[in-house]
Chain A
Amino acid sequence: KNEVEQSPQNLTAQEGEFITINCSYSVGISALHWLQQHPGGGIVSLFMLSSGKKKHGRLIATINIQEKHSSLHITASHPRDSAVYICAAYNAGNMLTFGGGTRLMVKP
């Protein structure tokens, strides 16, 4: 069992829908990183958080340390949001454990 689990693995949405991607982890972490990877390959940092909630534009990330759970929300989804979203947990030594990724497709 992976120490960082994401759900769903695949997600198809219609443009404008509210999207939630979940991430659960079973190990102690110092922080959690939400990343976005487009088909071209490059990984873009969305949020790094260790508590509470962060918001940037249409993206919102939350984390509940007690429940070892984080969510990434996309409001008013758009086809350009189509990508793979990866949650990755930092341990105390700042090494990353990656989740399996969520493949999101937003249809016009």
Chain B
Amino acid sequence: DTEVTQTPKHLVMGMTNKKSLKCEQHMGHRAMYWYKQKAKKPPELMFVYSYEKLSINESVPSRFSPECPNSSLLNLHLHALQPEDSALYLCASSQDFGVSNQPQHFGDGTRLSIL
């Protein structure tokens, strides 16, 4: 059982829809991450939050909008996505950000399909 919970597991949406992905962890971790993974490729970092503040944005298009309402919860708001945004979106967390030797714990991901 993963300690990082992502919902929904699957999401199909049109290009004009607005939807949100949710990630939750109750391990007391202060750093949370969003990754995007295309088929047969390794995950690519999108955003990092540390203590509920955005620390890293890897030049992600504005149609992806992250939000960290509290230390346990991380959202990714989606609007006006393109077909090429179809991918597996993974959330991860670690005890702290920028401190070495702290493993990142991954969720099961949300598989997103854009019609």
Residues of A within 8 A of B105 (CB): 45
| Stretch with Cβ within 8 A of A (4 or more), from B12-20, B75-83, B93-101 | B93-101
CA distance A90 to B101 in the complex (A): 7
Given A86-B42, A95-B45, A98-B42: A43 touches B100 (CB 8 Å cut-off): no
CB–CB A45/B106 < 8 A: yes
Interface size on A, residues (CB 8 A): 25
- Which 7 pairs show the lowest CB-CB distances between chains A and B? A42-B108, A98-B42, A43-B106, A30-B100, A41-B109, A48-B103, A93-B98
Chain A positions within 8 Å of B, measured between CB atoms, are: 30-31, 33, 35, 40-45, 48, 50, 86, 88, 90-96, 98-101
Given contacts A45-B103, A99-B42, 19 further A-B contacts (CB under 8 A): A30-B101, A33-B103, A40-B108, A42-B2, A42-B106, A43-B106, A43-B109, A88-B42, A90-B101, A92-B100, A93-B98, A94-B31, A94-B96, A94-B101, A94-B102, A96-B45, A98-B42, A98-B43, A101-B42
